Structure formats: structure tokens, C-alpha cells
Amino acid sequence: MWRYLIPLGLFIVLVVFLSIGLKLDPRDVPSPLIDKPAPAFSLPELDKPQQHVSPANMKGKVWLLNVWASWCVSCRAEHPVLNALAQTGEVTLIGLNYKDTLTDAKQWLQQRGNPYSVIAFDQDGRVGIDWGVYGVPETFVIDKQGMIRYKHTGPVTRQALKDIILPLVRELKKEPA
Amino acid sequence: MSREWLVLAGLLVGLLSNTVLAGVEVHQFDNPAQEQQYKHLTNELRCLVCQNQNLADSNADLAQDLRQEIYEMIQQGKSNQEIIDFMVARYGDFVLYRPPVKSTTLFLWIGPFLILGIGIVILLFYIRGRRTSQEPALDTAQHERAQRLLQDEDEKQS
């Protein structure tokens, strides 16, 4: 009896471990920046290079930072979702254009629409490094205190927006400034 | 050495140095210690894009930027610990090829030894179990019976 049950038990344990492993996404690296202050930056605005974008200006508001680039293929997939989000006007969406060129970025927005209220132009990717960006697109949720509360790696899906990001935004809006 | 050989060797050297230069950006260091520090750090830190490569091996854009960042920090005279802290603050423990011993990584560190221990225990039990079951001792009565049976066999054959 035992001589059959022991290998069977071991096999089941192995299957359980492997199936958990299959579900894990190795690309989803937990960010150490969660619940830490959003790294400060001051970058030129994409449309008006004389003006600067800085997270400090957003104190007291709940907002999203979306890191994108015209060379990023998955950004195309999430763009309609962001456009739809911008139309509801539920939360301020700020773009961080990461390691891109001005002309490419502008052309991309012209073709696909611009969901961002303002876009910071991070040409050399320095700010991206400060925010721990390793794969565009990435989306951060920042609360009224200027703390990063959530990070979404990869394209934002309607599902993720509806189930995780927007409920969190609504929660954070209730918090005192 | 003949002329042909010299030409061949020259071509080979030229070819090799080209491929080396093509893949890697060039950094100038003030002293060998800094170069050593750079080599050490880029070997110890993981590239987050191609996750099974370190920063030294990776050709990813991000790895290039991070190498540049490390280079500049070394030029500023930052210590290894300061540079590693900089990386961990941004990318988390994942950026380290050698994860720190913490409650969350404890199983990672002791797991293999634990499994080895369990394996040795099972092996010992198995060996002991086999040794005792291999030759069951006969008491004198059984011994005599076996003797008789063998004798009968002999008589039948003869």
C-alpha cells in the first residue's frame, strides 16, 4: 500500500508546486517603492519644453503616472484603455515619455489620441531609473500625500483598471489630503 | 614565422577586437581599483529586462543605462554598498544575484540543505530496512528442517 501511496503523494506535491509556478509571472517584480514617496523630478513638458513637470505640483491630488514610449509595442495595446479612462475624467493621468524622441512621441499621440493631462519628457531615462522602471509600460498610483500606493507592470487592461486601479483611486480620494 | 602566418594572425586580432568593441561601451577608469569595482558590481547585479543575465552580460537598453549609472557613481567615489543600496531602493532585492538572508528568503537559503537532510534520512532508513529484511535468521528447528529437505533432494537425484 505505502509503496504506491508515497510516490503518488510526492507526485501530487510536485504537481501543485509546478502549477503554482506556472501561474506566477516572473516579469512582475515587486517594487520597493510602494508606500514610499514618489521620487521627485523636474522634466520638460513634451509639448512646451519651457515648462516643467514635477510630482510636487500634484500634492493633494490622487493621480496616475503612466510610463510609455512610441517604440513600446504593448503601449499600443493599452492606449485605447487609457483614452477611455481620460474620457471619464475620473483621475488625472500624467505621462512619462521614456527614452523617446520628441517627433516620434508627438506623432504617436497624433495618431492615437492623447489621454494625458500633461507629459514629462524623460529622454535619457534617468527619471525612469529613479522610479524603478524596467519594462514599459508601467503605471503608478500616487496618493494625496505624494506616496506611491500601487504599481502596475505591463499594459493596463480594462480588467485591471476596473478591478484594481479605479477602486484603489476611489479609496485614496477619500483619504484626507 | 612565415609572412602568411603573420598576415593571418593580424587579421584574426583585428577581427576579434572588432567584435569586442561592437557590443560594449568603453569606460575609462582613473585607477585599476575603480575598474575592479565596476566589474564586481556589474557582475553582482541582475538585469531586470533579461532576468537571467547580470548587468555585465546584458545588451538590453536598461542594462546599458544602469552600467552608465554605476560608472558615474564610481567616478564620484561611491562605495559598493552605496551603489548597491541605490539599486535596491529602485528595483528591490530582485536586482541582487545574491539575495540577502531575510524572513522571506530564508527558505531559499536553507531549503536545499533541508531537502538534502531529508534525502539522507530517507536513504538511511531505506538501507537499514533492507539489511534487516535481507536474511531472516533461522532458529535451530528450521535449520534442521532445511538440512533434511536438502538431503532428500540429494537422495532423489542419486
Say yes or no: B94 and B141 in one domain: no
Predicted TM-score (pTM) of the model is 0.76
pLDDT of residue A176: 84
User: CB A99 to CB B94 under 8 A?
Assistant: no
Q: What residue type is assigned to position B70 of the chain?
A: I
Find cell 538572508 and name the residue.
Answer: B101
**Rounded Cα–Cα distance for residues B130 and A73 (Å):** 62
Say yes or no: B67 and B37 in one domain: yes
Say yes or no: B95 and B150 in one domain: no
- The Cα of B44 is separated from the nearest Cα of chain A by a number of Å equal to 18
pLDDT of residue B14: 61
Give long-range contacts, CB 8 A cutoff, 24+ apart: A24-31: A26/B51, A27/A135, A27/A153, A27/A154, A27/B51, A28/A153, A28/A154, A29/A134, A29/A153, A29/B48, A29/B91, A29/B92, A29/B94, A30/B92, A30/B94, A31/A132, A31/A148, A31/A151, A31/B92
Residues of A within 8 A of B63 (CB-CB) are none
Mean pLDDT of chain A: 92
Q: Which domains does chain A have, with CATH numbers?
A: 27-174 (3.40.30.10)
Terminal Cα-to-Cα distance of chain A (whole angstroms): 66
pLDDT of residue B20: 47
Task: Report residue A71's pLDDT band, with 50, 70 and 90 as the boundaries.
Answer: very high
pLDDT of residue B80: 93
Torsions phi, psi of A127, nearest 5? -65, -35
Nearest to B89 by CA among A42, A122, A36: A36
- How many structural domains comprise chain B? 2
- DSSP per-residue codes, A67-104: EE-TT-HHHHHHHHHHHHHHHHT-SEEEEEEES--HHH
B133: in domain: yes
The mean per-residue pLDDT over the stretch A140-144 comes to 95
pLDDT of residue B133: 66
Residues of A within 8 A of B61 (CB-CB) are 99, 125
Task: Report residue A155's pLDDT band, with 50, 70 and 90 as the boundaries.
Answer: very high
Mention every residue, 6+ apart, whose C-beta is less than 8 A from residue B87: B45, B66, B95, B96
Q: Show the low-confidence residues of chain B (pLDDT under 70).
A: 1-2, 8, 10-24, 133-136, 158
Which of B58, B71, B91 is best to mutate for the A interface (most A CBs within 10 A)?
Answer: B91
pLDDT of residue A175: 87
pLDDT of residue B21: 45
Q: What residue type is assigned to position A162 of the chain?
A: K
User: CB B66 to CB A26 under 8 A?
Assistant: no
B14: in domain: no
Say yes or no: B81 and B140 in one domain: no
Of residues A29, A33, A99, nearest to B61 (C-beta):
A99
Give the torsion sign (CA, B141, B146, B152, B155).
negative
Say yes or no: B74 and B110 in one domain: no
B7: in domain: no
- The Cα of A106 is separated from the nearest Cα of chain B by a number of Å equal to 22
The mean per-residue pLDDT over the stretch A3-10 comes to 90
The ipTM estimated for the assembled molecules is 0.81
Q: At residue A5, does pLDDT exceed 80?
A: yes
The mean per-residue pLDDT over the stretch A29-33 comes to 87
B54: in domain: yes
CA distances from A21 to A24, A91, A123, B106, B146 (A): 5, 35, 37, 19, 59
Which CATH number covers residue B90?
Answer: 1.10.8.640
Q: Is the peptide bond before A137 cis (omega within 30 degrees of 0)?
A: yes
Say yes or no: B92 and B128 in one domain: no
- Percent of chain A's residues with pLDDT above 90: 82
Of residues B65, B66, B92, nearest to A31 (C-beta):
B92
B114: in domain: yes
Say yes or no: B125 and B88 in one domain: no
Residue A32 contacts B where some CB pair is shorter than 8 Å? yes
| Segment B124-151, tens digit of pLDDT | 999 988 877 666 677 888 888 888 899 8
pLDDT of residue B28: 86
pLDDT of residue B23: 53
Say yes or no: B76 and B138 in one domain: no
pLDDT of residue B22: 46
The domain in which residue B119 lies consists of: 106-157
Q: At residue A62, does pLDDT exceed 80?
A: yes
The mean per-residue pLDDT over the stretch A120-133 comes to 93
**Rounded Cα–Cα distance for residues B133 and B125 (Å):** 12
- Dihedral over alpha carbons B90, B92, B94, B97 (to 10 degrees): 80
Nearest CA in chain A to B60: A134
- A-proximal residues of B, 125-144, CB under 8 Å: none
Residues of A within 8 A of B94 (CB-CB) are 29-30
